[in-house]
Structure 1
Amino acid sequence: MAEPAARLLDLTRSLRRVGRGATGVDRVELAYLSHLLTGDAPLFGVARTALGYVLLDRDGMRGFHDRLEGRVPWGRADLLSRLPRGRSVALTQAESDLRRLARGRCLPAGLPSLLARHLPPGFAYLNVGHSNLTDRVLGGVKKAQGRIAVLIHDVIPLDHPAYQRLGTVAPFRAKIDRVSAQADLVIYNSQDTRQRSEAQMRGRIPPAVVAHLGLDLPGPDGGELPAGLPPELPYFVVVGTIEPRKNHGFLLDLWQQMGPNAPLLLICGARGWNNSAVFDRLDRLPPGGSVREFSSLSDAGLAALVQGAAGMLFPSHAEGFGLPPAEALSLGSRVLCNDLPVLHEVLGDKAVYAALSEPYSWIRTIEEWAASVPDPRPATTFIAPTWAEHFKTVLKST
């Protein structure tokens, strides 16, 4: 595909997530923003606010990036941002700053005209955050003579709907239908995601590329951990939002079976949704017991905790890529995970795999690893995918 006349990155997810802990998808959108700002080709950003769309040029995107990274504080919320009720202070401040940084803005119906006025024909629209994939946006890009590239992280809401929040499956189905009908290119984070996504497309199958995600690890810093961490005893970690798909209940069952001699299990992540039974079990944990929950560790502190663990446990039912175990291997920690095809694709032979139907295999490995700490494993045996490789694949295609 020829080099586009300009690129337009959708920043709606980054805007909506301001003030909240970053998820894997959030980190991908930020990685795209960071990388595109290093180039010198024409670059724009678009975001949906509560009252319409804002368009940023390169300078405006740099200002937004500086605020997301904490180098510049957010400004005061303006009157327009305070009109819609029930929104966080952080979001109202962010929307206000975007309007101040904007090259142009419009009410929803004016998006095609806004894009045509500022972007040259043949521009490439990049949506990598699963947000703002609406008929208005995709149709507006087409009317302004742009090309559409969409990164699909997974189709778990469609092939594992039982793990989703109430009311989220149908909107996701509609997004995939729009991508199938209108995208000029689909970017997949794994071959497994491509196979699963194309199986869910009910019509046209768009051209596609597969590019594994890069890892952007913070430097481990144990000084950012709260008192008592890391523990002196051998411990295991599980990292991720506490929601049904991540399968924390499986680990709680294992620890119950291992009884009083079980090693420490540190559950690191915010509480999610549809998981009241697991939340009840966590709430009943005795203080100072063998299972402990931590919800707000810094990235650097969490990296230090993972690096010092006897192993990371990853019993997830389904994944699009599997960033936590890839990051753990990069930090030199061992990984025991569910026997998923996508994890084999990303982690290769550097992880230990065990089916969820074989809990005693999990217990045996956990007990062996707990008895073998410290482990002189090298931290360089896992060759992690890089963002440079990812963007080399993606940007020559968009």
Structure 2
Amino acid sequence: MQVILDVSRLLACSRRPTPSGIDRVELAYTRRWIEAPANSCAFVAQDLRGGFALLPRDLVAELAQALTAAWTGGADAAAAARHAGAVALGARGRLLLGRGRGALGRLLDNGRRTAFLLVSHRALERQAPIEAMRRAGAAFVPLIHDIIPVTHPEYARPGQAEKHRRRMASTGAMADGVIVNSEATAQALRPWLRQQAVPVLVAPLGIDVAPEPPPAGPGGEGHPYFVMLGTIEPRKNHLLLLHLWRNMAAARSAGQPAPRLVIVGKRGWENENVVDILERCVALDGIVREAGQLPDREVTALLRGARALLFPSFAEGYGLPLAEALALGVPAVCSDLPALREVGGAVPDYLDPLDGAAWRDAVQDYAAPRGPRRAAQLDRLRHWRAPGWQEHFALVDGLLARVTTPAAQLAPYAAPRRAAHVAVRDAAVS
């Protein structure tokens, strides 16, 4: 069996100072198949015509190495970022010149069983290029990260809901198998799948912990502090915490000290109220800091020193910040959402994202030197196990073997459970 992996998103995001969750996933998939035997995987990207073209393996390996160094941080991060941009520019130049289309055709014509992986949502709404790959004999397997723009269009950018509907329609019409990151995503996806049985693999995403950061991480300055990690957008519910901290600032003026809050992430869309508070609320001066986008080393340093990660989101498909915090041994207080319960199990404190009083009580307890709720979570955290990429790809390999083997398509698909929150099953939608 051979795998063809679309790396178009890596080319597009090569100049980003920090990656999104989807960027991380495509990079993890790229690194995994770069390490596999050369004849087992090839890499493609979308050309200007909207189709796919083959990219040289060594070019993709160079890009993956540079992006890993740039996004991790460290002394060579700036140079690595420049190098990643240059490599991506060279790859886009090849696509502009039309190189790689013929090579891809020859690869697909070699008679080998082939799986075409698209793990980023990028251009998933364009059915024609994907259908061309399927007509050439490749089984199509996308990774769906969430259905949030469809189920919660009020949190999406203008036009994103309709675009995501087309993506889900493409998945339902063409997917020979689907990878999802959680059972919550699988449940939301099932109405979109076509009538015949389509195997759906629930495979939690692996966690990459950055190298040990410098001893003195930024942000706390000797005071207890909390971290909120994610793009500043309405779905993440920054307003809840900002109003809470403003109230605590008023209490501070009456003699009660307030902990700090560090907000990590880029500014997204439709966040005018949040930005106004961050930029103009003098009551938050000195106790709330907008750190912006930070490399992985600095985020790791911040999390390790925090009293807890705060994650009051209204909707999630997986919850990567939660998994990252728990993997570092950092407690978390998060919204009571099915996807977050899949990630955190019994460890975090789960709260209603609209219950300001409950969040205030939790923050006050976790900020205290010997808060009982934080101590209890640290005890539970000792038994939590971080999901790993090796486990993820073992499950993915089983799905790819099924969708590329005609005999296997006739038998029920089963894979061993690797953890309580991992499930593999067929989705038959009537």
Which TM-score applies when normalising by structure 2? 0.80
C-alpha deviations, 1:119-158, integer Å up to 9, x for none?
Answer: 3343110011111322132112112111101100000000
The corresponding residue for 1:192 is 184
Report if aligned partners of 1:18, 1:91 keep a CA contact under 8 Å in 2.
yes
The amino acid across from 1:54 in the alignment is A
Alignment counterpart, residue 96 of structure 1, candidates 86, 90, 95: 90
Q: Structure 1: how far apart are the matches of 2:221 and 2:192? A: 45
Does 2:320 correspond to 1:327?
no
The corresponding residue for 2:262 is 266
Q: Structure 2: how far apart are the matches of 1:202 and 1:142? A: 16
**Are the structure 2 counterparts of residues 291 and 160 from structure 1 closer, same or farther at C-alpha, using a change threshold of 3 Å?**
same
Q: Structure 1: how far apart are the matches of 2:223 and 2:370? A: 9
Does 2:369 correspond to 1:372?
yes
The amino acid across from 2:117 in the alignment is L
C-alpha deviations, 1:58-79, integer Å up to 9, x for none?
Answer: 3333233233334996899xxx
Alignment counterpart, residue 29 of structure 1, candidates 11, 14, 26: 26
The corresponding residue for 1:67 is 66
Alignment counterpart, residue 5 of structure 2, candidates 6, 9, 26: 9
The corresponding residue for 1:80 is none
Deviation at 1:280, TM superposition (A): 0.8
Report if aligned partners of 1:16, 1:91 keep a CA contact under 8 Å in 2.
no
Listed as ranges, the matches of 1:146-165 within 5 Å are 146-165=138-157
C-alpha deviations, 1:316-364, integer Å up to 9, x for none?
Answer: 0111110101111111111000110111111101101111232211111
Q: Structure 1: how far apart are the matches of 2:55 and 2:336? A: 43
SS in 2 for 1:350: coil
Does 2:41 correspond to 1:43?
yes
The corresponding residue for 2:384 is 382
Q: Structure 2: how far apart are the matches of 1:125 and 1:45? A: 10
Runs of 4+ in 1 over 6 A off after TM superposition: none
**Are the structure 2 counterparts of residues 224 and 149 from structure 1 closer, same or farther at C-alpha, using a change threshold of 3 Å?**
farther
SS in 2 for 1:337: strand
Does 2:229 correspond to 1:231?
no
Deviation at 1:92, TM superposition (A): 7.4
The amino acid across from 1:118 in the alignment is L
Does 2:121 correspond to 1:130?
yes
Deviation at 1:106, TM superposition (A): 3.4
The amino acid across from 2:23 in the alignment is D
SS in 2 for 1:396: helix
Does 2:223 correspond to 1:241?
no
Q: Structure 2: how far apart are the matches of 1:74 and 1:283? A: 29
Report if aligned partners of 2:139, 2:176 keep a CA contact under 8 Å in 1.
yes
The amino acid across from 1:359 in the alignment is G
Question: What is the count of residue pairs matched by the alignment?
Answer: 374
The amino acid across from 1:342 in the alignment is A
Q: Structure 2: how far apart are the matches of 1:43 and 1:68? A: 20
The corresponding residue for 1:255 is 245
Report if aligned partners of 1:211, 1:393 keep a CA contact under 8 Å in 2.
yes
User: Gaps (5+ residues) in structure 2?
Assistant: 71-78, 401-430
Deviation at 1:206, TM superposition (A): 2.5
Listed as ranges, the matches of 1:216-365 within 5 Å are 216-222=208-214, 225=217, 229-258=219-248, 259=250, 260=252, 261-286=257-282, 288-365=285-362
Listed as ranges, the matches of 1:174-193 within 5 Å are 174-193=166-185
Q: Structure 1: how far apart are the matches of 2:195 and 2:292? A: 42
SS in 2 for 1:270: coil
**Are the structure 2 counterparts of residues 224 and 371 from structure 1 closer, same or farther at C-alpha, using a change threshold of 3 Å?**
closer
SS in 1 for 2:228: strand
Alignment counterpart, residue 106 of structure 2, candidates 106, 117, 120: 117
**Are the structure 2 counterparts of residues 139 and 267 from structure 1 closer, same or farther at C-alpha, using a change threshold of 3 Å?**
same
C-alpha deviations, 1:268-292, integer Å up to 9, x for none?
Answer: 1110001111111111133742211
| Range 203-212 or range 31-40, more displaced | 203-212
Q: Structure 2: how far apart are the matches of 1:266 and 1:343? A: 21
Counting aligned pairs with the same residue, the percent is: 37
SS in 1 for 2:262: strand
User: What RMSD, in angstroms, separates the aligned Cα atoms of the two structures?
Assistant: 2.7
Report if aligned partners of 2:5, 2:117 keep a CA contact under 8 Å in 1.
yes
